[in-house]
Amino acid sequence: MAYDGSSIIVVAIFGVFLVNLTSSLVLAKGPCQFPAIFNFGDSNSDTGGLSAAFGQAPPPNGMSYFGHPAGRYCDGRLVIDFLAESLGLPYLSAFLDSLGTNFTHGANFATAGSTIRPQNTTLHQSGFSPISLNVQFYEFHDFHVRSQIVRKRGGVYETILPKEEDFSSALFTFDIGQNDLTSGYFLNMSVDEVKAYVPDVLNQFHTIIKARGRYFWIHNTGPVGCLPYVMERIPVLAGQIDRYGCASPFNEVAQFFNHGLKKTVQQLRKDLPHAAITYVDVYSVKYSLISQGRNHGFNQPLRTCCGHGGKYNYNKNLGCGGKVHKQGKDVLVAAPCQDPSTHVNWDGVHFTEAANRYIFERIVDGSFSDPPHPLNMACYRN
């Protein structure tokens, strides 16, 4: 079939039209305007939940930014704090905290030690929170209903509680799953036994998440085999330590969990066709930070900043800020390092503010997201 010159011109003009139209459509997709964040998770994003329920995270937590304990198990801010800042929102108040809280722009239901799957032990027995993900969602549901009833009273309540329409436009963020893995190890389960119950954990995650929300930002779990509280308590063979000093068996299970979580997210997209669900690979960012930390100013990628004794400056019986009684006086033994910004790990379990900032700066632009949307475009499905 022959084409004359006019046909070529028409095709060319039509092609330019399509390019311009596509560009216009892309430009029309401005940044998302999230009026609120509702966060669910564990200590990686807890801004005061466990402290409100079981006692404040003690000094020197909070020393680098807040200057005092602020409900976070960190020397300063968490990734969720940087996320809120980036979206122009204030730091999230913990739902369980009744003092000085403001829920206008969302609430934080995360508590340190929380799991997806409910635990059969108490906090004091195991160190894991009774406020599992299903309980956090019960709290959210109650908060949604009662906040609107109370807000109708007017006055100050209108200034500290979210509007009804903000719930459907809010960003729902998740960072949970790490404790589901470590809880098994601390019960002397093998890595194979922990892997065996991962599908049940993810099934419960799927069931809970499916019940609520429109815009989701979901972090996978990090390399738990690089955390002092795991490596110190659960010895592995020398051949199971990777070139960066991390315990490979535990990291392999974390990756198994993340592979399943990504499949769960794919299923959620089918179940919730109108929802925008972003899966964020924080595992890769955290492992890169630990393995290449010295290239980014972190001279101590594995050693704990705030702790006492042992290979990793970590002692499960004497945590960060821990004191011993000597000659009638309490003496601080587990003191913080001089410069937390040179450490990845704060207390053997959690990251420093500097490490959290590093993680945030790598994930905010969508480089580690599926779909590859930056945070401020997380309201779009494609």
Catalytic residue numbers read: 43, 347, 350
DSSP annotation of 128 reads -
Structural contact between residues 62 and 127, judged by C-beta atoms closer than 8 angstroms:
no
293: Cβ–Cβ under 8 A, 6 or more apart, which residues? Answer: 299, 300, 301, 344
Angle between helices 133-151 and 191-209 (to 10 degrees): 20
Residues listed for the chain: 382
Q: Please name the residue ranges forming H helices in the chain.
A: 5-28, 49-54, 79-86, 123-126, 133-151, 157-160, 164-169, 178-185, 191-209, 228-231, 248-271, 282-291, 353-363
Cα–Cα dist 314/227, whole Å: 10
* Alpha-carbon distance values, 148 to 6, 99, 102, 162 (Å): 64, 20, 14, 8
Is there a cis peptide before residue 340, judged by omega within 30 degrees of 0?
no
**Largest alpha-carbon pair distance within the chain?**
101
Angle formed at CA 218 by CA 369 and CA 62, multiple of 5 degrees: 105
